[in-house]
Structure 1
Amino acid sequence: MGDITRLRQILINLLSNAIKFTETGSIEVSVITRKNGDINHSSGATTDEIQFSIKDTGIGIPSDRLERLFKAFSQVNSSITRQYGGTGLGLAICKQLCELMGGRIWVESELSVGSTFYFTIAASVIPEQSEVQTRLIASIPEVKNYDNNANYHSPDFPKLSSERSPTAKIEPSQSFRILLTEDNLVNQKIALKQLQSLGYSADVAVNGKEALQLLEKKPYDLILMDCQMPILDGLETTKEIHRWQESNFASGRRPIVIAMTANAMKEDKQMCLDAGMDDYLSKPVMKEKLAATLEHWGSVIFKAKETAATEQTISTTDTGSVDLPIDWKHLHQISENNLEFELELLQIFVEDIQPRLEVMKIAIASDDFGQLALQAHQIKGASANMGATTMHLAAEKLEKFARNQERRGTTNLISELEEFVKRIQEFLISSQ
């Protein structure tokens, strides 16, 4: 058991670099385990060391540059930076992530022959037939596909069963608040029972008007909305929800709306979607379909909450360290509220811009206004795509100075850009 998100980030970084620097040949990924024998007495789990290696036949790294490789923004040399792009921040973050997971990272390399990056993490081994293992088996239906095709299991570990344990209770992947809007008492009872058996709970509103009143008072994340109700039906209620400002909702954001209707015609489904509903369930609602729908939208809600929490962290953090004048709403739209993608995008953004700033300094010193304008234009475009408005404006001004062959003020603008890049770097490190 370990942190899959951090592990994935390290592997993506190292494999991306291997691909980037290997024009011909191969890239080989290997994994081995070493038994440490340390026991966590509270859980009964032992802790082993897992070692990953990523071996490539790429350009290699000079021996005198290996020590500085894992320092932030440290480049092997400027020619490699120009040809392949920046690689400094990614390896620095990999080092931090490995250390956070009780491991380390190092590299062996020979110029023009290739490189092998090694890293280790400490991971708990689940005791055979433990309660934790039973829950894991019950939550991995995909294992059956591997069993049917090949033996992917190490002999040191018990083979996972593809059958769900009849006694294992599947907990909802994320907790969120549900409002059931339904006027029929029988339908209410059935829906609440299904939700309870799936591990969810819900409040009830008997019509759209009551639902709107509750949305102002309680932070609901998702509404199961009957379409035909007295006073205010589901379609009109949903339209009203979309008319509201997000500040009107107690949660601070518009909830997910899922239609529930006995009309199963294609036209009825389209009518619900046109009204602004996010999804559609036909009555009678089958428990399996309800579970799948809630699991899907639960993950969407969780990502939105995670993003909101990140924004809150940014807004309340010392402005001298990680205050980023970024249009976060724009960035969230690009990433579809995927925090991991946003962090990766910011990392690539910084690694691309860092060498450009160095090139621009050289261009100013040599009065190479053409090169200065080119690099400023590239930064301007990337900043606009990222929603980095302040940086976009600084790069735009720098490009105008270069077009007019005006040196005065260019150094200050580059300093502004460097400060911005530094803030992003600090934010990325603090987000790990």
Structure 2
Amino acid sequence: MNQELDALRRRFGRFLIPLLWAHVPLLAVIAQMTGRSLIQALGAGVLIAGAYHLTWHRHGIAPPTRYLSAVALVAEPAVILALLNGHSWQMDGHMYFFAMLALTIAWFDERATLAAALVTGLHHLLLLVLLPGLVFPSDAHLARVLLHAAIVAFQTGVLVWLIRMVVFRFHRVRQLHAELSVANDRLTERRQEAEAANQSKGLFLANMSHEIRTPMNAILGFCHLLQRGTLTNRQDEHVRKISDAGETLLRVINDILDYSKNEAGRLSLEERPFDIRKVIEAQVQMMGAEADIKGVALHLRLGHDLPHVVVGDAHRFGQVLLNLIGNAVKFSSGGTVTVSARLTSAANDRATVEVSVSDTGIGMTTDQQAKLFSPFAQADSSTTRRFGGTGLGLAICRQIVETMGGGISVQSEPGRGSTFVATVTFGLAQDAPLIPCERLRSLRVLLVDDNPAARQLLAEFFTGWGVEADLVASGSEAVAAVAAAAGTASPYDLLLLDWKMPGMDGMDTVNALKALALPKLPAIVVVTAYGADTFAGEHGVEQIAAFLAKPVDPQAMMTTLSRLFPEERREAVRAPMVSERLQGARVLLVEDNDINREIAT
């Protein structure tokens, strides 16, 4: 059974009821026009329409109704032909047979059409024998009847072919619908299985995250406890590196969960105040060692109008920066990578910050740039093989910056490097700049670096803190400046010395200062991109007060200087304390890990 076909048949069956009843007054009009019996014409019309109406009422669209309708449709033109006997329109009445025969196609049942054609042929043959004048006004003979029968047969053949085609298409559509329903059911099952698998993956990631975070909490916690104690400079640097590595691993764990959230479209952002300068500097600092390995000079330029404290998601912002800087270093060999940040607009407690990362690396073609932000895509397959990576980083970056109300773009030329520009919108918060203590403000500082950009950057740090700083470009100039100042009332208190310089390098400068035999040398802080361990392994460190890694982190530099030049009257360093109203409160700690219980205690 085909429901669509049956619906059409019901509509046609109902249509035939008023059509056949409408022939009753039509037959009366023809009878009156031709002078035939009105009663007989009305009786014939009522008999035909009534018989069909009754059959429809009892059987609906069943075959008896279809066959009866075929007879009724042919009977109507037969009665009209009888009423027009001898009239000039008698021959025209034959045309009505073909019209009524064509109507039977709407049953979409070739048997009904064949029945109507058969009744038409029998009607003509019967009248040829009994009343030949009803068939043709003149010259009625079998050949003419057979010609009409052939025409009816041809029309019937066309109608039957069309009916078969329509019925076949309906059945085919029905079959396709059934197949589609089965496919949809299977697709629903697969979707449910995929959702279950995705849920299982989420549970697995959540469980693994918890299992990894527990020992990570111990690592970071003990690093914090060690840093609260008394450590040598070397020990403090080792503990800090362990803590930094732990934080990096923790970010990797978070990224695993973040990628799962991004994949499911559930990326959420935090709204917390943070020091945007510190976040940018931290990402640059993090890439310092890798940049040094590849011989890439990292430069950082922060706009003077860049706010210190903004409200947003520091982790997500840092994730974007780290990816862009990491790519710039990865695709550069030698040369420079410059990270810049500036405020582009500020209104209604919202600030738009533009961060650009420019490199002098391999660059990209226009076609490569077009697919750069697509998932799992890099510039080309050879790039992937050469430099590695999944190709997800930039796609995630775009998703993050767009969620943060900004966008990301790239400008690049093959062999001339690339510049990525990301804009992000943050909320504005009260600035919280780094404020040095009074002891640091009174220092006289000499900065030594052969790189003008690095020298100027250090000078801007100290200028912003209100600290006087002199600048020289070589070790020999530094020795001369320290010797000259030693004979005055204000000798240098601090010497920030670059290690790798042409001619007299950092260690040569230290030895030359030592050879001056001055009453007191300034505190010497070596700035190096190669790490304190490398320096200490090659040279003695008895004259070195501290080390700072390139690119210099202002917070790390202030912490180092505060340790080297403590306040003359300062309280002992204490652990962070809760507010007084909470001191003495009883705390219940629920933790199944022994180490974490120890740290918390």
Q: TM-score, normalised by structure 2?
A: 0.25
Name the structure, 1 or 2, with higher relative contact order (CA <8 Å, separation 6+). Answer: 1
Q: TM-score, normalised by structure 1?
A: 0.34
- Rg larger for: 2
Higher relative helix content: 2
